[in-house]
Amino acid sequence: MSDPQPKLRIDKWLWHARFFKTRSLAAKQVSAGHVRVNGNKISKPAQTVGQGDVLTFAQGKLIRVVEVVALGERRGPAPEAQTLYLDRTEKQEISPDNPRYEGKGRPDKRERRALDLSRRKGMP
pLDDT tens string 26-36: 999 999 999 99
Dihedral through CA 39, CA 45, CA 46, CA 48, nearest 10?
A: 30
Distance between CA atoms of residues 40 and 98, nearest Å:
35
CATH number of 8-93: 3.10.290.10
Domain ranges of the chain: 8-93
Of the pLDDT bands very low, low, confident and very high (cuts 50, 70, 90), residue 103 is low
Specify the pLDDT at position 123.
Answer: 67
Instruction: Determine the Cα–Cα distance for residues 34 and 28; give it in Å rounded to an integer.
Output: 9
Asked if pLDDT for residue 1 goes beyond 90, the answer is no
